[in-house]
Amino acid sequence: MGDFPYDLTPSTLPAMGLIVLRVDETIEQDFRRAIAPDAARLHITRVQSGDDLTPDSIAAMEAQLTTAASLLPPAGFDVVGYACTSGTAQIEADRVGDLVRAGVQTRHVTNPLSAALAAFADRGVARVGIVSPYVASVAAPLRTAFMDAGIEVPDTVSFGEEIEARVARIAPKSIANAARALVARSAMDAVFLSCTNLRTFDILPMLEAELGMPVFSSNQVLAWHMARLAGQGV
């Protein structure tokens, strides 16, 4: 019995890879809304991460990044995103890029920190307040990374949480209230809602209209930056 003949049809869509923390319950749902199936091929892998996000668990995750990237399909990518804001701030964006490229062939690597800085430049904002779910030891490096990049951070608000399963269940109304409190007590051009596990997508338009300033979130800027780097012109 002979083999049945077939044709090969190469995909013309941009290829995007996403490295998601094992404990993240939010970003995949957000990316399904942000990246249309007919706009790109999105492939997702998971990186081992602790149930709690701490400096030690982030350091352990750093050692697993290349392995996680290597589990993406081998055909090559236009862009791969590492979906951890605080992790990038601690590991540093350049190091993240090196670790990802060691595991997968890709034209570009990004992350929520680099994506946020690109979005700030695109919208022309220079004074950004941060809402973070995490304890100070995890939240502080992001503020430092923004300031090192020339972004003034006049104030921050944190929920003081470590357990990722609880972060994924912080009510959007609590996140909105934190942003309101931040803007009420300090002058700023924009607000950044940090963490890919926070449920932010549904409150962004409402908060922007109410506060009268840009309101960014980790998942929003990462999806936007990956689409731009993949040549989608957004």
The percentage of the chain sitting over the pLDDT mark of 90, rounded to a whole number, equals 86
Confidence of residue 55 (pLDDT cuts 50, 70, 90): confident
167-176 b/e with 16+ CB inside 10 Å = b? bbebebeebb
Domain range summary for the chain, segments of one domain joined by +: 15-112+221-229, 114-217
Dihedral of the alpha carbons of 208, 209, 213, 216, in degrees to the nearest 10: 10
Would you give the DSSP letter of residue 64?
T
Q: Tell me: the pLDDT tens digits for 136-164? A: 888 899 999 999 999 999 999 999 998 99
Indicate if the pLDDT at residue 110 is higher than 70: yes
| CATH class of this structure's domain 114-217 | alpha beta
Residue 136, classified by CB atoms within 10 Å of its CB into exposed (0-12), middle (13-18) or buried (19+), is: exposed
Distance CA 145, CA 117 (A): 10
CA atoms within 13 A on the CB side of 181: 14
> Which contiguous run of DSSP H or E holds residue 214?
none
- 154: tokens are 């006049």
Residue 4: its pLDDT value, please? 93
Domain spanning 15-112+221-229: which CATH class is it, in words? Answer: alpha beta
pLDDT at 234: 55
Q: What is the pLDDT of residues 80-89, one digit of tens each?
A: 999 999 999 9
